[in-house]
Amino acid sequence: MYNDLIQKAKTVLDTNFQPGGFTIPSKGLYPFQWKWDAGFIAIGFAHYDVVKAKKEIETLLNAQWKNGFIPHIVFHTESDTYFPGPDFHQSHLSKESNPDYPSTGMVQPPVLGFVLEHMLNVVEDKKAMLQFISTQIDKVFWNHEYFYKERDVTNEGLVYIYHNWESGTDNSPIWDDIWATMNPPQYTFKRKDTSHVDASQRPSNREYDHYLYLIDIAKKYNYKDAKIAEHSPFLVLDPLFNAMLIKSNESLINLYKKLGGHADKIKQLETWQKQSVASFNSKLFNEELGAFVHYDLKADQQIPFVCSSSFAALYAPIVDADRAEILVNTLQHKFGDESLYLCASFDPSSERYDPKRYWRGPVWINMNWILYLGLKRAGKTALAARIKADTLTLLERYGFYEYFDARKKVPDDAFGGYGGDNFSWSAALFLDFVNEK
């Protein structure tokens, strides 16, 4: 079963792998190395080409900054197919930046801890993989230390993001109310993404003005975290981002225990973990919605919308059985209509939902993978099986697109597979789904 598709998935990954030792997410649209993409891509390679899997991680971690920060994009090569590139981001403004690797000055969800553990679980030669992990794991630990030192302004174990691109869920409707508090200048720039992908599937020009303005504020303060926290109008505690951090803390603890020694680091991780889990539950849970939500630190209030990020906590050691039950009910009730594939990225009953546009509604394979493992962790095998079946159906029906229409019956003028084609993490996580033992 799936033999043809498995072959195609490998071809996508092998074609997107670059001589510089990293994999582009999609030709033209995303021509560099993206942080959370690199993590999911390494999991795919771990199933059939361990050398490339390790290289992906190593190349990304080589670009780490002096303060432990790992950038969201590393511009290993030049390309004129993407905006905003290195000339706009100007990472060299930060004295912490890595002079050998031009990059952005923002981060992306901290997936690397659990990626390393997942790679170890899928490879045959555990000894060799553990040996590799022993050469990289301290860099990931150091990255977590960066987050807790520099991004936890309220000292409660939750880390903020200062830009929507840091969330990974780039143009989610979650940010709309923050955009309404800002009035950025109208930038003159040439969009490149809309020459690769239909504009109706991408953010609007006005949204891009906000994105660029936030970067300009960070640049004005030379990417100093404390200054950004003070001056950025966008300062958010994101339930996906923090769930990934907590999941990765757990994986780092497991891996350090396997490696032996490292008692101080394990103790530190356990201390962070305790506070993070408690604050996640108390600050990010919305009783009325029955889900975790984002928290706007500038407005000092929750952002009361449910999206696929609301359930990422199921994948981490965050919830007890009662709360898991509430989350699963909300997921089923809001997103589980039989006319839809699981799982739309935004509440399909909301007027902000848009089934075609980037993170405003479509299904994403990486989110389905996180939710699938989360549902399994919570013992919800039937719903987990449905999300896996839906994922495989979407990939079979449309191919390795970047995101997908959640509607099983798409209107005649829509195709259903959207964004970049031959998209690396869709191929990589497909391999993980079908090779599951």
Does the annotation mark 287 as catalytic?
Answer: no
The minimum distance between CB 104 and ligand DGY, in angstroms, equals 8
Which of 145, 170, 337, 354 is catalytic? The answer is 170
φ, ψ of residue 88 to 5 degrees: the values are -80, -45
The minimum distance between CB 165 and ligand DGY, in angstroms, equals 4
Cβ-closest position to ligand DGY? 165
> DSSP state, 174?
G
Candidates 284, 282, 287; CA nearest to 297 is 284
Q: Report the C-alpha gap between 344 and 9 in whole angstroms.
A: 23
The minimum distance between CB 82 and ligand DGY, in angstroms, equals 7
Measured from the CB atom, the residue of 35 and 376 that comes closer to ligand DGY is 35
Q: Report the C-alpha gap between 35 and 48 in whole angstroms.
A: 21
Measured from the CB atom, the residue of 14 and 170 that comes closer to ligand DGY is 170
Which residues of the shown chain bind ligand DGY in the complex (CB under 6 A)?
72, 165, 170, 193
Residue 73 pairs with which residues in a beta bridge?
34
Measured from the CB atom, the residue of 49 and 170 that comes closer to ligand DGY is 170
Q: Report the C-alpha gap between 237 and 71 in whole angstroms.
A: 18
Report angle CA 47, 367, 85 to the nearest 5 degrees: 85
Measured from the CB atom, the residue of 65 and 165 that comes closer to ligand DGY is 165
The minimum distance between CB 170 and ligand DGY, in angstroms, equals 5
Candidates 375, 313, 305; CA nearest to 345 is 305
The minimum distance between CB 277 and ligand DGY, in angstroms, equals 28
Which of 150, 402, 405, 432 is catalytic? The answer is 402
Measured from the CB atom, the residue of 148 and 364 that comes closer to ligand DGY is 364
> Of how many residues is the chain composed?
437
Query: Residue 91, SS3?
Result: helix
Does the annotation mark 402 as catalytic?
Answer: yes
Residue 228 and residue 288 in contact, taking contact as beta carbons nearer than 8 Å: no
* Alpha-carbon separation of residue 395 from 14, 54, 85 (angstroms): 18, 26, 30
Q: Report the C-alpha gap between 246 and 25 in whole angstroms.
A: 25
Query: Residue 285, SS3?
Result: strand
The minimum distance between CB 272 and ligand DGY, in angstroms, equals 26
The minimum distance between CB 242 and ligand DGY, in angstroms, equals 19
Candidates 86, 81, 40; CA nearest to 60 is 40
The minimum distance between CB 289 and ligand DGY, in angstroms, equals 27
Residue 277 and residue 317 in contact, taking contact as beta carbons nearer than 8 Å: yes
Residue 400 and residue 430 in contact, taking contact as beta carbons nearer than 8 Å: yes
Q: Report the C-alpha gap between 118 and 432 in whole angstroms.
A: 10
Measured from the CB atom, the residue of 8 and 27 that comes closer to ligand DGY is 27
Residues 6 or more apart whose Cβ sits within 8 Å of residue 165 = 72, 104, 106, 108, 211
Measured from the CB atom, the residue of 169 and 330 that comes closer to ligand DGY is 169
Using CA of residue 385, residue 254, residue 56, residue 219, what is the dihedral sign?
Answer: positive
Q: Report the C-alpha gap between 343 and 345 in whole angstroms.
A: 6
Measured from the CB atom, the residue of 165 and 401 that comes closer to ligand DGY is 165
Positions annotated as catalytic residues are: 170, 402
